[in-house]
Structure 1
Amino acid sequence: MKWIILLFMFFGIIINYADKSIIGYAAEPIMKEFHLTYTQWGLVGSSFFWLFIFAGVIGGAWSDRIGTKKTLTILLFLWTILQFGVLAISGLPLLILYRVLLGAGEGPHGPVSMSQISRWFPPQSRGFAIAIFNGGAVVGALLFAPLFVKMITNLGWRGAIASLGILSIIWVVLWMLLGKENPATVNWNEPIITQSKVKWSEASPIIFSRTCLLSLFVGFSAFGLLVWVSLFQPLYFGQVLGFTKQQIGLASAGIGIGGLIISILLSRFSDRLFIKNQKYYGSRVLFSGVCLLIAGVCYLTSILSQSNLLTLLAFTISGGCATTVAAMVPQIMMKLFPTRRGFGVSLGTSFQNIAGIVGPIVCGALISLAGTNKVLGFHYALFYTAGLMLIAGLLFILFCRPDKATVEAGQPNDNSVSI
Structure 2
Amino acid sequence: MLPTAPAQTLVHGRDRLSGRLPATVGGARAWVITVMLMLLMMINFADKAVLGLAATSIREEFGLTAQQYGTISSAFFLLFSVSAVVVGHLADRFSTKKVLLVLALIWSVAMLPVIGPAGFLVILLSRVVLGAAEGPAFGVAQHAVHKWFDDADRSVPTAWLTIATSLGVIVGAPALSWMIDAHGWRSAFLLVAVVGVVWSAVWLVVGRDGPIDLHATDISTQRVRPLDRIHVPVRKVLSTRTWIGCALSAFAGYWAVSLLIAWVPAFLTDDLGYSKATSGTLTALPWIVGVIALFAQGFGTQRLMRSGVSSRWARGVMPGLITLAAGAFTLVSIFAHGNGMTLALLTIGLGLSGAAFAAGMVACGEIAPVGQRGVVLGTFVAFYSLAGVIAPYVAGVLVDRAGDDPTSGYTATFALTGVIAIVGGLLAITLVSPERDAALLTAAAGQSD
Task: Using structure 2 for the length normalisation, give the TM-score.
Answer: 0.86
Alignment of 1:233-248 (within 5 A): 233-248=264-279
Task: Tell me by how many angstroms 1:310 deviates.
Answer: 2.8
Kept after mapping to 2: 8 A contact 1:84/1:163: no
Alpha-carbon distance in 2 for matches of 1:146, 1:188: 47
Distance in 2 of aligned mates of 1:166 and 1:82: 11
Residue 385 of structure 1 corresponds to which residue in structure 2? 417
Q: Does 1:362 align with 2:399?
A: no
Call closer, same or farther: CA 1:33–1:181 in 2, change over 3 Å.
same
8 A contact 2:50–2:176 mirrored in 1: yes
The structural deviation recorded for 1:91 is 1.6
C-alpha distance in structure 2 between counterparts of 1:195 and 1:38, whole Å: 52
Gaps of 5+ in 2: 1-28, 212-217
Q: Does 1:346 align with 2:374?
A: no
Equivalent-residue separation in structure 2 for 1:251 and 1:364 (angstroms):
21
* Cα gap change, 1:186 to 1:377, in 2 (>3 Å): farther
Deviations 1:239-279 (A, max 9, x none): 22221122112212333223212221222112212222342
Equivalent position of 1:85 in the other structure: 113
SS in 1 for 2:398: helix
1:169-207 deviation line (CA, Å, top 9, x unaligned): 1111111111111248569633499899xx9x8111221
- Secondary structure of 1:372's counterpart equals coil
Q: Distance in 2 between matches of 1:370 and 1:156?
A: 30
Instruction: Report percent identity of matched pairs.
Output: 27
Instruction: Answer yes or no: is 1:45 the counterpart of 2:73.
Output: yes
Kept in 2: contact 1:122–1:188 (CA 8 A) = no
**Stretch deviating more after TM superposition (243-252 or 93-102):** 243-252
Match of 2:152 in 1: 124
Matching residue within 164, 177, 186 for 2:192: 164
Provide the rounded CA distance (Å) in 2 between the counterparts of 1:317 and 1:188: 42
Structure 1 counterpart of 2:164: 136
Partner of 1:402: 434
For residue 301 of structure 1, what is the aligned residue in structure 2?
Answer: 332
The corresponding residue for 2:323 is 292
Shift of 1:155: 2.5
Q: Where in structure 2 are the equivalents of 1:185-334 lying within 5 Å?
A: 189-191=223-225, 202-334=233-365
Residue type matched to 2:151 in 1? P
Per the alignment, do residues 5 and 195 of structure 1 end up closer, same or farther by CA in structure 2, a change over 3 Å counting? farther
**What whole-Å deviation, never above 9, does each CA across 1:119-169 have from its counterpart, x for those lacking one?**
112222311111111111112223321111111122221221022111111
Please, which of 32, 52, 59 is the counterpart of residue 60 of structure 2?
32
Per-residue CA deviations over 1:91-114 (Å, capped at 9, x if unaligned) read 211111111011011111111100
Contact 1:53–1:354 (CA<8 Å) still a contact in 2?
yes
Matched AA of 1:326: F
> Residues 250, 138 of structure 1: CA spacing in aligned structure 2 closer, same or farther, 3 A cutoff?
same
Q: Partner of 2:337: helix, strand, or coil?
A: coil
Any conservation in 1 of the 2:107–2:129 contact (CA below 8 Å)? no
Contact 1:65/1:195, CA 8 A, preserved across alignment: no
1:48–1:100 CA contact under 8 A, matched in 2: yes
In structure 2, do the counterparts of structure 1 residues 195 and 272 end up closer, same or farther at CA, with 3 Å as the change threshold? closer
CA distance in 2, matches of 1:288, 1:247: 32
CA distance change for structure 1 residues 192 and 40 in 2, over 3 Å: closer, same or farther? farther
Task: Evaluate the alpha carbon distance shift between residue 399 and residue 172 of structure 1 in structure 2; reply closer, same or farther with a 3 A threshold.
Answer: closer
Please, what is the CA RMSD of the aligned residues?
2.5
Q: Distance in 2 between matches of 1:374 and 1:8?
A: 41
**AA paired with 2:377?**
V
- Where structure 1 has 5 or more consecutive residues not aligned to the other structure, the ranges are none
SS at match of 1:134: helix
53-62 vs 210-219, which moves further: 210-219
User: Is this contact kept in 1: 2:244–2:431, CA < 8 A?
Assistant: no
Asked whether the equivalents of residues 281 and 401 of structure 1 are also in contact (C-alpha less than 8 Å), the reply is: yes
Distance 1:82 1:48 in 2: 11
Q: Residue 120 of structure 1 aligns to a residue in which SS? A: coil
Match of 1:67 in 2: 95
CA contact (8 A) 1:202 1:408 kept: no
Indicate how the Cα distance of structure 1 residues 158 and 191 shifts in structure 2: closer, same or farther if over 3 A, else same: farther
Task: Report the residue type matching 1:189 in the other structure.
Answer: R
Task: Give the counterpart letter for 1:323 in structure 2.
Answer: G
2:38 to 2, 10, 14: 10
In the alignment, the residues of structure 2 paired with residue 186 and residue 72 of structure 1 have an alpha-carbon distance, to the nearest angstrom, of 26
Aligned in 2, Cα 1:377/1:62: closer, same or farther, shift over 3 Å?
same
What corresponds to 2:408 in structure 1? 376
Q: 2:207 pairs with 169, 179, 186, which one? A: 179
Instruction: Give aligned pairs, total.
Output: 413
Q: Which residue of 2 aligns with 1:58?
A: 86
**Larger gyration radius, structure 1 or structure 2:** 2
The answer on whether the counterparts of 2:288 and 2:351 sit within 8 Å (CA) in structure 1 is: no
The amino acid of 2:99's aligned partner reads T
| TM-superposed deviation, 1:60 | 1.1
In structure 1, what is the equivalent of residue 214 of structure 2? none
Partners in 2 of 1:322 and 1:222 — Cα distance?
5
Larger displacement relative to structure 2 (289-298 or 133-142): 133-142
Partners of 2:229 and 2:197 in 1: how far apart? Answer: 28
Q: Measure the CA separation in 1 of the matches of 2:55 and 2:150.
A: 41
Deviation of the 1:398 alpha carbon: 2.3
Q: Following TM superposition, by how much is the alpha carbon of 1:2 offset from its aligned partner in structure 2, in angstroms?
A: 1.2
Tell me which moved more, 398-407 or 285-294.
398-407
